[in-house]
Amino acid sequence: MNELIEFATIDCPSCGEPFEVEIDLSAGSQTLIEDCRVCCAPAELRIEIDAEGAIASIEAEPVNG
Ligand SMILES: [Zn+2]
């Protein structure tokens, strides 16, 4: 079984700095919580995977609390 891992760069919703996240394309559209590499604040990433198995869009929002 192939693993489809892709790296994407997102802008941290807390500090605005870009950082890289690892996305498992085989899991389909998903929501991930990733800690910013720069300010360590958690960010909620809503990732949409299209029918071709590619990243359609990524939205990043700060996680409060
Ligand atoms: Zn940050």
Distance in angstroms (rounded) separating the CA atoms of residues 18 and 25: 21
Pairwise CA distance, residues 26 & 30, whole Å: 10
Q: Per-residue pLDDT tens for 35-51?
A: 999 999 999 999 999 99
pLDDT digits (tens, 9 = 90+) for 12-28: 999 999 999 999 999 99
**Distance from residue 17's CA to the centre of ligand 1 (Å):** 6
For residue 2, the tally of other CB atoms under 10 A from its CB is 6
- Which single residue is written with the structure tokens 């996680």? 63
Per-residue confidence band for 65, with pLDDT thresholds at 50, 70 and 90: low
- Regarding pTM above 0.95, the answer is no
Give residue 16 CA to ligand 1 midpoint distance, Å. Answer: 6
4 CA to centre of ligand 1 in angstroms? 26
